[in-house]
Structures are given as C-alpha cells and as structure tokens.
Structure 1
Amino acid sequence: MEKVLIIGNGFDLRHFLPTKYNHFICILREIESSNIVSDFNFENLFSNQFQRYDSFFYEKIKEFYTVDDLKFKKDDLNKIKTKLGQNLWYKHFKSIDDSHIETWIDFETEINRVLEDIVNLFDKLDNKIKNSNSSFNGIYYYDYRYNSEDHFDSSLTRILLTNLEIFLPSSDSGRFDLNDEYCFKIGNEVQIIHKNRILNNLYYSLQEFTGIFNDYFYSIVSKFYEKFREEKKDKFLKHHDINLLDSIDKIYSFNYTKTVEKLYSNKEIDYLHGQVIEDWNDLDDLKIVLGVDDLDQNLKKHKLFNFTKYFQKLHKQTDFQFLHDIGEISSHTFYFWGHSLDISDKEYIREVFDQLDQSKSKIFAPYIIDTKIIIFYHSISSKADLLNNLLSIIGKDEIEGLMKQKRLTFVQATEDNLFNVINN
C-alpha cells in the first residue's frame, strides 16, 4: 500500500501558522503603517490589526509557539514596506472590504473580476473613440449629478480603476482622468488606448506582488517553525516518538511553505505551485504560481493567459506533472488534508479520482479495487463545503458510488483520527 498525502492551506492553519489571506493582508497593513526603526517582536507585528481581525488565532499562535523571543528583522520588514508603497495590486487589495475577500479562492476570484472589468472598459472606450458624433477627452465622472455619459459603472469599478491607476483623480471634485501613459491624444481627444501597456503593467505588478507574498512567508511565517512549543508536540506532531507523517510515501503540496520539513521530517514533496525562497534579486528567480484557474472566452480573446496558473506553471517550470511517478503495482490511499477541493483545482482533483477508475487509472487493475480516497475535514460545516465542491467537480453518481463502496470516506481531523487513519 502506497500512501499519498495532498495538502492545502488548511494544513498550515491546523499548525496555527498565519497563512490565511486576511492574515497576510493584516500584517502587510501593519508593516505599511509602521515606523520600523528596529527589529519587531511578535506583539509589535501581531497585537494590533491581526489581533482585532482574528483574536482566536492570535491566542492560538501564542499557545503553540514561544513568541516572546521571536524577532522579525527590521531590514526584512522595510524591504516589504518599500515594495508595498509601489504595488498597484496591493493598493487595490487593501482597499477591498475584508468581507469581500476572505480566502485565497476569493483572492483569485478578485483577480479575475479585475481583468473582466478592464476588458469591459476597453470595449466601452473603443466605442467612445469610434463614435463619430462626439469626441472623448478621457474624462470620467463619479458624481452622477454631472450630466455626462462618461461615468463609472459602479463605485467598485471606480475604486478598482483608480487603485490600478488606469484613471487618476483630478483636483476637480468627482472627476477622473484617463492616465496619459495609457492613451494617445491629438489635442484633447483620445485616439488610441494602449491596451497592451495596461495589461503588461498589471501583469508585472502581479509578479511584484508575488515577491511581496514570497517575502511575507519567508521573513514572517517561517520564523515560527523553530518556536513550536515542545510540550505541544506530543499528540499533535507525534505519538510516542512516531511522527504523524512517518508512514506517508509521497506528498503533493499546494502550499508554498516548508511546514512538513520543518515540523516533521524530510519527505519527498512536490510543490505544485512553487515554494518560497530566501534570497532573490530578480522576479525570474521566483517560481511561485499566483493567478486564476482559467479564463472565459472574452478574456482569452485578449490573450490574458499569463494571469493563469497553468501559464505560470509552464513558464516558471514548476512541478506541473501531478501523479507522474505513481506506483503501478500497489494499491494506494490518497489523503486530502486542508485542501478546499474547490473548482480552481479541478484538474488535480479529477486526476486523483481517475486513479480509482479502471479505465483511466495509472495503477494496474488488480490493485485499483483496494485504492481509496480519504478526505480530512475540520468541522461539519467544512465537510458540507467539501462534499458540495466534489459533487460539482466529480458528479453525484461517481461520488455516491465510491462512498457506498467505502472507497471515498470523510474523516474529522481530530488528533486521534489523524494518527489512527494515517498510520493504520
């Protein structure tokens, strides 16, 4: 029997590492607003915005880690702060209400929404420029008391397009001017919109945001590993000196962190979306995949593939050959732990379920019947979310059939269950 573990962000959260999207944004806001003249301790960085947002998690971090002597280096924090002040995507994300983006899936959805709004803007501007009955001077209004057709579709669209500096606020109240960098004018009349320049700048800014993301995980999250409390390791990381993951043969990680290596032991891990690195001087050094799952036809028409995860995996040469070295002459147990099973990773999820199908599996027929999938869930509500996601990706008949055969099971991720199920 080969045991394959597939982990998502819930794995890191189970270890009370601050890896939620809103943890990330809270700490970035703290860094941006702080005067950093010396190294920060845990309280400096986490006791303000972070604690207000997630007091439960704040207390759990202190319960599981010795934070009193934890230090975050001044130079590292100022390096992040400098990048924040220049980044268009951060400017946008920090302005969006926390209830609008709560998870990394929401984060990806917001990137997609931004792209949709921009290409919709292109269509509107093209129509204005081609309209022979009137000229377009590049001015938009937000205050609808202005008797003008040149206005934003919504306040959210206005925020988006000004955050990304496609439009710039004027000294005139309610007026916004199309950024001169992105258009060609004769006199005051816009003749051409430099669409590629807009999209290229946005993609470059997203890559710079990936650098901020990398530095947050390396300079802040990774500092907790060495501080895990010894008294918390028993029954959490190990039982009777046996590490929880000792019997696992292979790990596929959708995370960017080194939690397995640092808290458990060295295992063979494929990082499907890349991993954080310590030092980098050029954006090409970063192999992190950060983007959307796919594009609709309208976005494909504008060739926005560089914003997709599959483009970035190919371009950055991350390990995109999922299950490429699966054993053919043994049955398998696939464990999903901390993965949302969301449609954004449907290709990976589908490939795992295919291993239980004799007509599609890479595993030889005699071993397929004993191959199974176990999904760990945090709570009853999270189990319902996971099942809903699976039904939308795999389908009712297949899910129901596998559950009746007990080849697909859901197990609550209690400490005892994790040890008993993984090490049975």
Structure 2
Amino acid sequence: MNILIVGNGFDLSHYLPTKYDHFMDVMGVIAEKDTGGLPKNLAEKSIDEWLNLLEKTFQKREGIASPPHDMTFDELFYKTRDSKFIEKTKEFYLTESVEICAKDVLELQYRLELNCWYQYFKNHVEEIKTWIDFEQKIEDVLKVFGRKVVEIETLDSKETIINYFNGTNDSMACISTIELKALNFFELTVKENMCRVLSRTRDGKPFQTSTGSFISLNKRFCIGDDLQNGFNPSKFLDFLNKQLEDFIKIFNFYLELVVKKLEHRTTFEILVKSNSFFEKNENDWIKPDLIYSFNYTNTYQRIYGSIGVEYLHGFHGENQNIVLGVADLKSDSLKMIKAYGFTKYHQKLFKDTDYLFLDVFKEKVKIHKRKIEYFEKDFGDNDPTAKKFERQKIMEVEGKLNLNISIWGHSLDVSDQDYILDLFSLNDDIDRNVRVTVYYFDKTAKFSLLNNLLAILSKDKVEQWMKNKWLCFKPNPEIKFLAQESSDVDQAS
C-alpha cells in the first residue's frame, strides 16, 4: 500500500502561498487598507457585536454600489517579503480570479484590530518565520503565564495587586517588563488613577501615599469583576482561548478567500529524479492509496484527482475544524488550571478531526503479536515438526504490512512527535516491510529533518532504520508545470 504524508512544504512545492509570512503579509496589507477608518470606540463592543452592525449596514445598502474597498491578488501581495515565490504563483495560477469584496475587507479589519493574538504576532513578525515558530510564540505566552499565575492568584487586595505590578519605594515590581508586555497584549492589566500606599508605620497604618496612574489587574479577570475578590485564572484562559479561536477564523478567511480561489492555469506532473534524468514514478506516492495531511487544504485532490485524505489537523471551510496550538503543557501550574485547550491533542479531540493515524496497521501489529504468543505456546522452542515450519512461514507473510510511505513537506518537528513515534514503531519487533522516504527541499532542510528525528527517536533507532534501508532521504520531487489547452483554462476560470 502506498501512503503519502504531506505537510505545508507540499503546498509550497505547488507555489500556493500558505507560508506563515504569506498570511501575515496579506493581513498587514488588509489592516492598512484605507476604508475610512474604524470606529474609535472599538473596545466598547465585542467582535460579534461589531460584525452584526456591519452586516446591518450592508443590508441597508442593498441595491447601492458597494464602497470601493475591494482588493485584488496584486494588491493583497504587493508588500510580500517573498516576491519571487508570488511571481511563480501568478505564473501557474489564475490569480486574477482572487478578489476580496469590500464587506470581507471591512470584516477582516475589525477582526484583526480586535484580536489580541494577531496583535501579538504582528509585534513579533520579524521573529516568526514558520508555523513552528508561530506555535513556539503561543508557548512563550503560556510559559510566562504559567510562571506568574500562582503569584497573581495569591494577591488578595487592591494594595497587593498595585504593589505587585508597580513595586514600592522599597522594592521592584514582582513581574518583569518583558513578562508584563507579553501578557498585556491580552489585556491582563489596565492603567488606573488611584491612591496607593508606598510605605506603612510599624503598626501597619499608611505612612506615605501617592496618587497617580498605576498598573492594575483588569477587573474582567477577577472574581465577580472586583479587584477585592482576587484574580480568576480561568477567566483569563477562557479569554485567551476565545481569542485564539477568533484568530483561527481569520486564518480560515485567508484560506477561503485567497488560497482556495487559486485555480491552476497549468497541468501538473510530479517527477522523481532517477540517476541523471527525470522520469515518472508509477509505483509509490504519485498514485497513493491514502493521504495523511497535516495541511488544511486539499491540494492533491484539486490538482491530481480525488483520493482518500485524512486531515489530521482539520480542514478549512464554512465548518472549519482547524487545529493551531502547542504540543503539550510543560508547566505544572498550567496543568493545574487545565489549560489544555491550547494543546493540539485537545483541539483534535474537541473538533473531531481525522486524528487517528495508522490505527488500522497498528491494530494488525497487535493481532500478529498475539498470534506469535499463541504459536510459541502451542509449539514451544524445540518442536522440529514440518507443521511448525509451515505455520512459521505463513505467519511471516501475515506479519508483513507492505507499506511504502512518502513524507513530503513535513518538518518532523517534536510538536508532532506522537505521529512520528507511531510510524517508526511499525518495524519494532520484526521487519514488517514498512519503508519510509523523507523528501527534503535542500541540504539545510535535510540536516534539520535528521536532527528532529534523532531528537524524537534516538540515535539507535534512526541508525537501525537507515542501515536496514527502511528509511531514506531524497530531494523533493520536481513539479513540472505544463500549459493547458486554452479550453481547459477557460473552463477553470
């Protein structure tokens, strides 16, 4: 059986703009689009309330020409940091069919301005180069909160809260500027005008006070919305989760309004380098029997034809179930307050993605292992009968899985280590004829892929798989783009 496992590199090999940079560059251009300006009182309403008002406004304008705020593909990508890639996209796809209407532009502007995660990522746009970096930035926020949550939760009065965030004459604030800046993207604190105690007499009475603007906890994250009742970490986490889901909706908009609309103006052929020339490979991944996708797109089906695809991290669309999160919670304090909604495994279960990976084959391995146990009990170690040898041969055949697995465009990062461990356990007890080919973009990518496997599987297992030729690395297959007949182009448009 031939199985293809695809990551984002598969889409990029087909010049679809699904890199993190592509997405953020386009969102930045949309946010800067001159649409007359958003209301100044944005904080007074929720995103849903603003979108309802926007909907009513456009309903009233029905029959009247929409404002000239539509955005074409060229306008969306005119500030891209990956201009050569986008030129290729324009060469191979009907980019003129991509246009975001005025209403969608305005909706995205509201969503972007009111989304804390987008504002946080935008502030770190130069540091975040890949979707793995993106996941790391989510983890960075959670780590800061995990370190500080116990301290903040123990603050039991307005005075202790103010001193914690501002310090006193005798001490520094109990939270660093960097930590506070990270959490303040998510509105943890506000500035308030109040009188604070700087020092007290020996009997505890205020001795020195100061009136002014001080940093204080946001009341919305306190029990009963009252500072005196103390901090409620669950309310803050619920807000972070809601904001992350709203960010996912923004990303889904991008996939729906841009990537999905890119109809190819060429036909595609996949070529595998063999010796010194290129030839078609008719056996393995060109005609896979099954695809496991870590992407949210259906690129293989769109270009090469319908085939069974299991979307491990969800799929975009009206009923999207996109998974964006961290591999696991490393902080005991985060586990204590059940911050599992940020983990991929929680999201996969909650959103009901195709999260089962190689389960049919793992079950076959279990069944075969049980048969071996029964066989050894029945025949023992010293039974020389022909019946035993005949049965042994049959069992050897039954134990083969006969899987050719190609991995194209996946980073093999630790964030997906559970899948990687499952895959490389299939030959653990005996050689079940599972063969894995990992495709790489360049030597730097190969170096990173091997590094990631060594970190997850250990040196001994990687050496065993490569020595036995169960695992090999090959350069990315070539994509050959062939001009379609004019009638095909007309039909695609």
Q: TM-score, normalised by structure 2?
A: 0.72
What is the aligned partner in structure 2 of residue 34 from structure 1?
Answer: 33
Do residues 117 (structure 1) and 117 (structure 2) align?
no
Judged with a 3 Å threshold, the aligned counterparts in structure 2 of structure 1 residues 399 and 147 are, in CA distance, closer, same or farther, namely: same
Contact 1:6 1:335 in 2 (8 A): yes
TM alignment of 1:218-257, pairs within 5 A: 218-224=256-262, 226=263, 228-230=264-266, 233-234=268-269, 246-257=286-297
**Cα drift, residue 112 of structure 1:** 1.5
Contact 1:91 1:164 in 2 (8 A): no
Aligned partner letter, 2:456: I
What is the aligned partner in structure 2 of residue 5 from structure 1?
Answer: 4
Do residues 108 (structure 1) and 179 (structure 2) align?
no
What is the aligned partner in structure 2 of residue 356 from structure 1?
Answer: 427
Aligned partner letter, 2:324: L
What is the aligned partner in structure 2 of residue 199 from structure 1?
Answer: 237
What is the aligned partner in structure 2 of residue 289 from structure 1?
Answer: 323
What is the aligned partner in structure 1 of residue 314 from structure 2?
Answer: 274
Secondary structure at 1:93's aligned position in 2?
helix
Judged with a 3 Å threshold, the aligned counterparts in structure 2 of structure 1 residues 138 and 260 are, in CA distance, closer, same or farther, namely: farther
Aligned partner letter, 2:183: L
Aligned partner letter, 1:272: L
| Aligned pair partner of 1:382 in 442, 445, 461 | 445
Do residues 399 (structure 1) and 437 (structure 2) align?
no
TM alignment of 1:119-138, pairs within 5 A: 119-129=146-156, 135-137=160-162
Instruction: Give the whole-Å Cα distance in 2 for the aligned partners of 1:337 and 1:379.
Output: 13
Instruction: Give the whole-Å Cα distance in 1 for the aligned partners of 2:157 and 2:260.
Output: 54
Structure 2: give runs of 5+ residues left out of the alignment. 36-67, 194-210, 273-277, 365-399, 481-493
Contact 1:376 1:410 in 2 (8 A): yes
Aligned partner letter, 1:258: N
**Cα drift, residue 170 of structure 1:** 5.6
Secondary structure at 1:376's aligned position in 2?
strand
Q: Which region of structure 1 is more displaced relative to structure 2, 173-182 or 311-320?
A: 173-182
Report how many residues are paired: 389
Judged with a 3 Å threshold, the aligned counterparts in structure 2 of structure 1 residues 60 and 158 are, in CA distance, closer, same or farther, namely: farther
Instruction: Give the whole-Å Cα distance in 2 for the aligned partners of 1:65 and 1:356.
Output: 42
Instruction: Give the whole-Å Cα distance in 1 for the aligned partners of 2:235 and 2:253.
Output: 27
TM alignment of 1:185-196, pairs within 5 A: 190-196=228-234
Secondary structure at 1:4's aligned position in 2?
strand
Do residues 300 (structure 1) and 367 (structure 2) align?
no
Instruction: Give the whole-Å Cα distance in 2 for the aligned partners of 1:407 and 1:173.
Output: 69
Aligned partner letter, 2:111: K
Aligned partner letter, 2:333: N
Aligned partner letter, 2:76: L
**Cα drift, residue 214 of structure 1:** 1.2
Contact 2:233 2:337 in 1 (8 A): no
Aligned partner letter, 1:273: H
**Cα drift, residue 240 of structure 1:** 8.2
Secondary structure at 1:202's aligned position in 2?
helix
What is the aligned partner in structure 1 of residue 76 from structure 2?
Answer: 45
Aligned partner letter, 2:152: L
Q: Deviations over 1:186-222 (max 9, x none)?
A: 99x7441121111111111111111111111111111
What is the aligned partner in structure 2 of residue 373 from structure 1?
Answer: 436
Aligned partner letter, 2:144: D
Instruction: Give the whole-Å Cα distance in 2 for the aligned partners of 1:11 and 1:173.
Output: 56
What is the aligned partner in structure 1 of residue 188 from structure 2?
Answer: 166
Judged with a 3 Å threshold, the aligned counterparts in structure 2 of structure 1 residues 235 and 111 are, in CA distance, closer, same or farther, namely: closer
What is the aligned partner in structure 1 of residue 102 from structure 2?
Answer: 74
**Cα drift, residue 416 of structure 1:** 8.0
**Cα drift, residue 146 of structure 1:** 7.7
Instruction: Give the whole-Å Cα distance in 1 for the aligned partners of 2:298 and 2:357.
Output: 19
Contact 1:166 1:179 in 2 (8 A): yes
**Cα drift, residue 151 of structure 1:** 5.6
Q: Deviations over 1:93-124 (max 9, x none)?
A: 1112422x221111111112211212322223
Instruction: Give the whole-Å Cα distance in 1 for the aligned partners of 2:281 and 2:455.
Output: 41
Contact 1:137 1:190 in 2 (8 A): no
Aligned partner letter, 1:60: K
**Cα drift, residue 330 of structure 1:** 4.6
Do residues 216 (structure 1) and 254 (structure 2) align?
yes
Instruction: Give the whole-Å Cα distance in 2 for the aligned partners of 1:234 and 1:186.
Output: 60
Instruction: Give the whole-Å Cα distance in 1 for the aligned partners of 2:147 and 2:213.
Output: 22
**Cα drift, residue 165 of structure 1:** 0.6
Secondary structure at 1:270's aligned position in 2?
strand
| Aligned pair partner of 1:413 in 445, 453, 476 | 476
- Percent identity, aligned pairs only, is 34
**Cα drift, residue 152 of structure 1:** 3.7
Contact 2:156 2:228 in 1 (8 A): yes
Secondary structure at 2:2's aligned position in 1?
strand
Aligned partner letter, 2:345: Y
Q: Deviations over 1:250-279 (max 9, x none)?
A: 1000000111111111110000011001x3
Secondary structure at 1:35's aligned position in 2?
coil
Aligned partner letter, 1:183: C
Instruction: Give the whole-Å Cα distance in 2 for the aligned partners of 1:33 and 1:301.
Output: 41
Secondary structure at 1:137's aligned position in 2?
helix
Secondary structure at 1:354's aligned position in 2?
coil
**Cα drift, residue 357 of structure 1:** 2.2
Instruction: Give the whole-Å Cα distance in 2 for the aligned partners of 1:186 and 1:351.
Output: 46
Judged with a 3 Å threshold, the aligned counterparts in structure 2 of structure 1 residues 246 and 374 are, in CA distance, closer, same or farther, namely: closer
Q: Deviations over 1:112-167 (max 9, x none)?
A: 22112123222232454389xx74337734xx998752264133x23222210111
Q: TM-score, normalised by structure 1?
A: 0.82
Bigger Rg, which one:
2
Structure 1: give runs of 5+ residues left out of the alignment. 280-284, 360-364, 418-424
